[in-house]
Amino acid sequence: MIWIKNGIVVDPKNKINAEKMDIFVKDGKIVAERDVKKEDCKVIDASGKLVVAGGVDMHAHIAGSKINTGRTMRPEEMRVVRNIAGKFRAAVGRVLLTAPAIGYEYAKMGYTTSFEAAQPPIGALHTHEELDAIPMIDKGALPVFGNWHLVFKCIEEKNLEKLKALVAWAIERTKGFGVKVVNPGGVEAWMYGGNVKNLDDQVPGFSVTPREIITWLIKANEELGLPHSVHLHCNNLGVPGNYQTTIESIKLAKGFSNPKRQVLHVTHVQFNSYAGSSWRDAASGAAEIAKVVNSMENVTIDMGAAIFGHATAMTGDAPFQFSLHKLIGARWSNKDTEVETGAGIVPIGYLPSNPVHSLQWAIGLELGLLVDSNKVVLTTDYPNGGPFTEYPYVMAMLMSKKMREGELKKVHQYVQKATTLPSIETEKTLYEVIHMTRSLPAKVLGLENKGHLGIGADADIAIYNLNPLETDFSNEFEKVYKSFKTAEYTIKGGEIIAKNGELLKEVFGKTYWVDARKRVDLEAVIPDVKNYFNYYSVQLGNYGVEERWLKNPSRIEVV
Partner 1 sequence: MQVQDVVCTFCGSVCDDGEYDLEKRKIKKFCKLGSSKFAEKERIKAPMIDGKEVSYEEAIEKAAEILANAKKPLLYGWASTANEAIRVGVILAEKLGGVYDQCASVCHAPGTLATIEEGLPGATLGSIKNRADVVVFWGANPMEAHPRHGTRYSISVKGLLVKDRKQRKVIVVDVRPTKTAKIADLFVQIKPGYDYAIISALRAIISGNADVVPSEVGGVPKEKLVELADIMKGAKYGAIFYGLGVTQSRGRDRNLENAIKLIQLLNRFTRWVIWPMRGHYNVVGAGEVPAWEVGYQYAIDFSRGYPRFSPAEFSAVEVLNRRDCDAALIVASDPVAHFPKMAVKHLKQIPVIQIDPYPNMTTLVSKIVIPSAIYGIEAEGTVYRMDCIPLRVKKIIDTNYWTDEKILEEILKRVEKLKG
Partner 2 sequence: MLILRPKGEFEVCVEAELTPELAMRSVEEVKKFKVYYGNRVVELGELFEVVKEGEEKKLVLDGNFSRVKWIGARMVDGEIIVKGSVGANCGAFMRGGKIIVEGNADDWLGTEMAGGEIVVKGNARNLVGCAYYGDAVGMTAGKIVIEGNAGNYIGEKMNGGEIIIKGNAGDFVGTEMRAGVIEIHGSCGFVGGDMRGGEIRIKGSFDLLPTFKKTEKGFVGDVNVKGEGVIKTL
Which positions lie near partner 2, rule CB under 8 A?
74-77
Answer yes or no whether residue 494 interacts with partner 1 by CB under 8 A.
Answer: no
Tell me how far, at minimum, the Cβ of 93 lies from partner 2, in Å.
13
Residue 520, phi then psi, degrees to nearest 5: -140, 170
Q: Which does 89 bind (CB under 5 to 8 A by kind): partner 1, partner 2, none?
A: partner 1
What would the DSSP string read from start to end of 460-487? Answer: -EEEES--TTT--TTT-HHHHHHHHHS-
Tell me how far, at minimum, the Cβ of 174 lies from partner 2, in Å.
32
Q: Which of 310, 325, 450, 452 binds partner 1 (CB under 8 A)?
A: 325
Tell me how far, at minimum, the Cβ of 75 lies from partner 2, in Å.
4
Q: What is the separation, in whole angstroms, between the first and last Cα of the chain? A: 34
Cβ nearer to partner 1, comparing 347 with 451:
347
Interacting residues of 442 by C-beta distance below 8 A, sequence separation 6+ = 13, 53, 56, 113, 448, 450, 451, 452
Any idea how long the chain is?
559
Beta strands in 202-282 (DSSP E): 230-233, 264-266, 274-275
Answer yes or no whether residue 188 interacts with partner 1 by CB under 8 A.
Answer: no
Inter-residue contact 332 to 344 (CB < 8 Å): yes
Answer yes or no whether residue 90 interacts with partner 1 by CB under 8 A.
Answer: yes
* Alpha-carbon distances, residue 91 vs 64, 96, 504, 510 (angstroms): 18, 11, 15, 21
CB atoms within 10 A of CB 198: 14
Q: Which of 5, 13, 71, 139 binds partner 1 (CB under 8 A)?
A: 71
Give me the half-sphere count of Cα atoms (radius 13 Å) on the Cβ side of residue 31.
Answer: 17
Cβ nearer to partner 2, comparing 90 with 455:
90
Answer yes or no whether residue 324 interacts with partner 1 by CB under 8 A.
Answer: no
Cβ nearer to partner 2, comparing 310 with 492:
310
Cβ nearer to partner 2, comparing 76 with 297:
76
Burial zone of 259 (CB within 10 Å; 0-12 exposed, 13-18 middle, 19+ buried): exposed
Is the bond into 75 cis (omega within 30 degrees of 0)? no
Cβ nearer to partner 2, comparing 33 with 76:
76
Answer yes or no whether residue 346 interacts with partner 1 by CB under 8 A.
Answer: yes
Cβ nearer to partner 1, comparing 30 with 67:
67
Inter-residue contact 94 to 80 (CB < 8 Å): yes
Per CB under 8 A, the segment of 338-346, 357-365, 449-457, 478-486 that binds partner 1 is 338-346
Q: Which does 537 bind (CB under 5 to 8 A by kind): partner 2, partner 1, none?
A: partner 1
Answer yes or no whether residue 502 interacts with partner 1 by CB under 8 A.
Answer: no
Q: Which of 285, 491, 442, 439 is nearest to 371 (CA)?
A: 285
Tell me how far, at minimum, the Cβ of 233 lies from partner 1, in Å.
20
Cβ nearer to partner 2, comparing 32 with 81:
81
* Per-residue binder mask for partner 1 (CB under 8 A), 4-43, x = binder: ----------------------------------------
Per CB under 8 A, the segment of 238-246, 300-308, 320-328, 365-373 that binds partner 1 is 320-328
Q: Which does 332 bind (CB under 5 to 8 A by kind): partner 1, partner 2, none?
A: partner 1
Burial zone of 540 (CB within 10 Å; 0-12 exposed, 13-18 middle, 19+ buried): middle
Q: Which of 85, 423, 502, 518 binds partner 1 (CB under 8 A)?
A: 85
Q: Which does 541 bind (CB under 5 to 8 A by kind): partner 2, partner 1, none?
A: partner 1
- Say whether 517 sits in a helix, a strand or coil: helix
Q: Which does 339 bind (CB under 5 to 8 A by kind): partner 1, partner 2, none?
A: partner 1
Tell me how far, at minimum, the Cβ of 373 lies from partner 1, in Å.
35
Cβ nearer to partner 1, comparing 86 with 259:
86
Answer yes or no whether residue 336 interacts with partner 1 by CB under 8 A.
Answer: yes
Residue 375, phi then psi, degrees to nearest 5: -130, 0
Q: Which of 126, 261, 479, 519 binds partner 1 (CB under 8 A)?
A: 126
Q: Which of 168, 120, 164, 112 is nearest to 142 (CA)?
A: 120
CA–centroid distance for 83 within its chain? 25
Inter-residue contact 84 to 105 (CB < 8 Å): no
Answer yes or no whether residue 99 interacts with partner 1 by CB under 8 A.
Answer: yes
Tell me how far, at minimum, the Cβ of 330 lies from partner 1, in Å.
8
Residue type, 426: T
In angstroms, the CA 62 to CA 171 distance is 19
Tell me how far, at minimum, the Cβ of 328 lies from partner 2, in Å.
13
3-state secondary structure 300-317: EEECCCCCCEEEEEEECC
Cβ nearer to partner 1, comparing 19 with 338:
338
- Residues that contact partner 1, how many (by CB under 8 A): 62
CB atoms within 10 A of CB 463: 24
Answer yes or no whether residue 332 interacts with partner 1 by CB under 8 A.
Answer: yes
Q: Which residues bind partner 1 (CB under 8 A)?
A: 63, 65, 67-69, 71-75, 77-78, 81, 83-86, 89-90, 92-93, 98-100, 122-126, 129-130, 133, 149, 190-193, 205, 322, 325-326, 331-339, 345-346, 534-539, 541-542, 546, 549
